[in-house]
Structures are given as structure tokens and as C-alpha cells.
Structure 1
Amino acid sequence: RRLVKMPFGAQGPPGQGAADSPQAWYMSLPLITRCWFTACVSTTILSAVGMISPMTLYLDWSAILFKFQIWRVITNFCFLGKFGWPFIMNLIFMVQYSKTLEKDFNGVAADFLWCLIMGGALLCGINHLLGMGLPFLTIPLIFMTIWIWSRKHPNVQMSVFGLFNISSAHFPIFLLVLTMLMGGSPVQNIMGYFVGHVYWFLKEVHPVTKDHRFFSAPSFLKRLVEDQPLEHTPGYGGAVRRGGAPPWGGRGAAQQQQPQPQEAAPRAGGFSAFRGQGHRLGGEW
């Protein structure tokens, strides 16, 4: 069993050191995680300097269908609100679990992107059909990756603030309880967990759909996204991108840093940690 400490210093596998520079750390991220990270940071920077408005990024089906603002289908998964502590923690959270899960796809970046696309489509459907009205679905998508990771690696032992240990299988439930204890709504947790469980169950468990070719990226996506060469890391059992520092970008002997959970989305009055209800349009982002 592996002991993983959380939060905050990103820690890598045994014998692996920190990236030499921010650029080295950035380039060590797996391809899809690096693109997602870049998009989240870029939208917040451009919003902060007034070059774009969050009102042009949120999920608005009328604008998508009748004004052909197709970018909203993507940007609603790439905005974490204003700069601030919650933004930083949610960004760390996203990078940690996205890169860890992306490694499980053995360098086939298109398959991981396809996983996010399918999860994002289901989140959009749930959000619309149930009338939930969440303008941004970045946080539920992050929780989806957390759930899938916890199912694929259920026996990782995690030290929470050095106070007690929990297994990774129970980590999503811990986050759910913590969200409610902090006065937030568990809506986005539950959305992400549900979608993540549907994906994991159909791909890994159900005998009819297990390893079905549907879960493999379409050929056009594989042509669009280049596979990332991987090499196994001794002592970890996973893989890192060849030619770079391990994607954890950290130090020490533990494997996977778990940042302080944030269940938040920007909404009127600012971006508040552990608030699961999502954005409210017409207010300040």
C-alpha cells in the first residue's frame, strides 16, 4: 500500500525530484492536462484584465444553437473564476487528478480526451434536463476525474492533514462530507461522481460494455491528438512522459499530492470555496 499525504506540497514517486523550473514542470504535464490547465489559467487572466467577459464563456444553449457561439461548449469547462485562494486550490486539484488519471491511459492522449468529452456531454445533459442551471461545469468535471481515479486505485492510503488516514476508495465521500460541513451544497460533487461512476462502471465492470471500442477515441480524434510516449517509473507502477520530469512535479517519497478539496464555482459575490451550487449569472465573477 502507498501512503499519500495531503495537502499542499506536490510530491512525486520515490526517487524523483522536483522539476527544475516552472517551464520544466509545465512541460512535464501530460498533453491533455497541460491544455486544460492552460485554458483555465488563460480564461481567468483574460477575464481579470477585461479582455473577455465570463458572460461570453458560460453554457448558454440559445447562444450556441442560434448565435453559433460554439466555443461555449468548451469554455464552460475551462473557467474557475477570479484569482484567489479558491482558484489556486481548484487549479491544483484539477492538475493533480487529471494528470494522474491521464497516465492510466498509457500515453493514448486521445482516449483520455475522449473520456473527458463523454463525461462533459453527460454533465451538460444532466444540467439541462434536470434544470440545474449551472453556467460552468469545470468543478463537476474535476470531481468526475476524482471518482474515476478513486475507483481505478481504491487501495491508496491517504493521510488527511496528518490527522488520520483514509483509503482512496473513500476519498470522494470524504470530500462530499467536507463540502457539506463547510456549508456548501454537494450538487457538483454528486454530479461529477455520478458521471464518473457511469463511465467507470461501463468501461471497467459491466461485462457487455467492458473495454468496448466505444471507449476508444474515434479515429479523427486520434489523428488530431498525438500519443504521448510513456515510460514506467520504478517504485510507482505508473508512467511518466519520456524526456521530462515526472508529472507530479514535486519532491519527497509519497506519490500523489492531494490538495485541500475545493467544491466551488465562480458566482455572484465572488468565488467561494466548497460552494457546490455553482455560478449565478448577473452577478460579479
Structure 2
Amino acid sequence: MDLSEVRTWFLGLPTITRFLFTASLAVPLVAQFGIVHPYLLILRWTSITRELQASGACAHASLLWRLVTTFFYNRLGFGLLMNLYFIYVHSRELETTTFDGQPADYATFLLFCGICSTVGGILLDLPVLNDALVLAIAHYWSLRNAERIVSFMFGMRFKAKYFTAVLLGYELLLSGHLPVGSLLGAASAHLFHYLVEILPAQGGRRWLTTPAFL
């Protein structure tokens, strides 16, 4: 592919997916090349409380910066490539099918999952929430495409409703510890699904709606 083909491919991505993909690549790169220290990109409760107590616009901007960059920071490596692939495939499909013509609704989904994951990350002292973002997207995609047959590594084929379990199991085997961040993302997406789709379908109140400012 030459540069014009790359540009055409990139501009062909839907807007929100393009932002997620770009941020998930750019943030690790600026940390890797020393442009920004990784500590300034992660979520640390002690840093947040210290910055909240500080005065001045710079301190509050740093707080807001951390709350966003924690979802995009990752170390360069195979894990980052996998996350970029899942964002490209599943976020793009969600944005062009489930949320087609409804970017504000998709932004609401991401904002809701982000808030839930942030609260969980603070309580569990998780400094990086990139996996939470990716699993939230992948899990909601699997809920919306439950009966579709998907392929995973080494030619494994199964219904999409098992996709999240397979991803969590793969991460557990690869890392050797419980993928808490990924579990947070999946749980937040499942809660969104329950509040927006399952509960209203059962005659309950829809507690979550798209904010007017979006």
C-alpha cells in the first residue's frame, strides 16, 4: 500500500472509530519516544487527588488528560496490535450497523463504559484501562451478533456470544493472572446492554438515554 491508499483507508473509517484507533496508536508512541512520560498518561488515584487539590488550570487539565489517556495507553507489542485490530473490526462494525447514523448514541455507550471502568479502575487501583475500552466494544459487539460464527486464532470457530469468554480466557493464559481491566470493560458493556435494551424490553424504565449535549 502506498501513502495515498493508507490515507484513503484511514479517512474511510467512521469518525469515532478513527479517533479511537488513532488515539490507541498515538498515545503509546508518544510515551515510547519519550515525548510524554508514561506516568502522566495513566490513572493514579493519589495523583488525581493531589491535582484536584492543586489550583490553576494546568492541574485540572492534567486531571482531565489522565482520565482520557488511561484508555489509550499501552505498551508497544503484540497486545497493542491485538487491541488495534479489535477496535478496527468491532468498533467500525458497531458504528456502521448498530449505531449507524447515531454517533451520539455510540458516544454515549463509550462514555458510560468509560465512567464505569474509571470508577472500577480507581477502586481496584488499575492505572491502565486500554483493555477495558477494547473489551467493552468487543463484548457489546458480541451481544449484538450473538449467533454469528466467528473465527479466532488457530482457526477456532464459535458463536459470537462466546467471544468475550474466549478473549478473557486467552488473556488469562497469556498473562497468567486475572484480566481485571478486561472484566471491567465487559461488565460495563453488559450493564449498558441491560439498562438500554433488556430492561425496557421487559417493561421497565429506560434509565440511560443519550445526553442532549452529545
TM-score by length of 1: 0.64
Q: Which residue of 2 aligns with 1:139?
A: 131
Per the alignment, residue 85 of structure 1 pairs with 78
In 2, the alpha carbon distance for the partners of 1:146 and 1:114 equals: 16
Is the Cα contact below 8 Å between 2:71 and 2:128 reproduced in 1?
Answer: yes
Structure 2 distance, partners of 1:161, 1:77, is 25
Give the conservation status (yes or no) of the 8 Å contact 2:126–2:181. Answer: no
**Deviation at residue 64 of structure 1 after TM alignment:** 4.5
> CA separation of 1:27/1:180 partners in 2, compared to 1, >3 Å: closer, same or farther?
same
Q: Distance in 1 between matches of 2:107 and 2:114?
A: 10
Distance 1:162 1:42 in 2: 30
> Which is further off, 102-111 or 24-33?
102-111
C-alpha displacement at 1:136, in angstroms? 1.4
Of Structure 1 and Structure 2, the greater strand share is in: 1
Structure number with greater CO (CA < 8 Å, separation at least 6) is: 1
**What are the within-5 Å matches in structure 2 for residues 231-250 of structure 1?**
none
Asked whether the equivalents of residues 86 and 138 of structure 2 are also in contact (C-alpha less than 8 Å), the reply is no
Residue type matched to 2:19 in 1? C
2:142 corresponds to 1:150: yes
- Identity rate, percent: 28
Q: Quote the residue 2:42 is aligned against.
A: 58
Which residue does 1:49 correspond to in 2?
Answer: 33
Q: Partners in 2 of 1:121 and 1:113 — Cα distance?
A: 12
Q: Does 1:21 align with 2:5?
A: yes
Deviation at 1:220, TM superposition (A): 2.1
Which residue number in structure 2 is paired with residue 226 of structure 1? none
Matched residue, 2:56: none
- Distance verdict in 2 for CA 1:27–1:172, change over 3 Å: same
Q: 1:58 to 1:46 in 2, by over 3 A?
A: same
Name the amino acid aligned to 1:120. Answer: G
Taking structure 1 as reference, are residues 39 and 162 closer, same or farther at Cα in structure 2, changes over 3 Å only? closer
Q: Which moved more, 1:47-56 or 1:178-187?
A: 178-187
- Structure 1 residue runs without a partner (length 5+): 1-19, 222-285
1:35-80 Cα deviation digits (max 9, x unpaired): 1111122212222221111111111322552331221111111212
| CA distance, structure 2, for counterparts of residue 96 and residue 41 of structure 1 | 15
The residue type equivalent to 2:105 in the other structure is D
Distance 1:38 1:164 in 2: 29
1:95 shift after superposition: 2.1
* Among 2, 15, 28, the residue aligned to 1:31: 15
2:112 paired with 1:118 = yes
2:43, 2:67 within 8 Å by CA — same for their partners in 1? yes
Instruction: Tell me what 1:243 maps to.
Output: none
- Deviation of residue 153 (structure 1)? 0.9
Pair 1:160 & 2:152 matched: yes
What's the secondary structure of 1:107's corresponding residue? coil
**Do the aligned residues in 2 keep the contact of 1:119 with 1:195 (CA within 8 Å)?**
yes
Give the corresponding residue for 1:191: 184
1:6 corresponding residue in structure 2: none
Aligned length: 196
Question: Structure 1 residue 102 and structure 2 residue 95: aligned?
Answer: yes
Give 1:196's aligned amino acid. A
CA distance in structure 2 between the partners assigned to 1:45 and 1:57 by the alignment: 12
Distance 1:202 1:124, change over 3 A: same
Contact 1:64 1:72 (C-alpha < 8 Å) held by counterparts: no
Answer yes or no: is the 8 Å Cα contact 1:77–1:138 preserved in 2. Answer: yes
In the TM superposition, residue 122 of structure 1 has moved relative to its aligned partner by 0.8
What is the aligned partner in structure 1 of residue 164 from structure 2? 172
Per the alignment, do residues 157 and 202 of structure 1 end up closer, same or farther by CA in structure 2, a change over 3 Å counting?
same
Output the CA distance in 2 between the equivalents of 1:28 and 1:127. 33
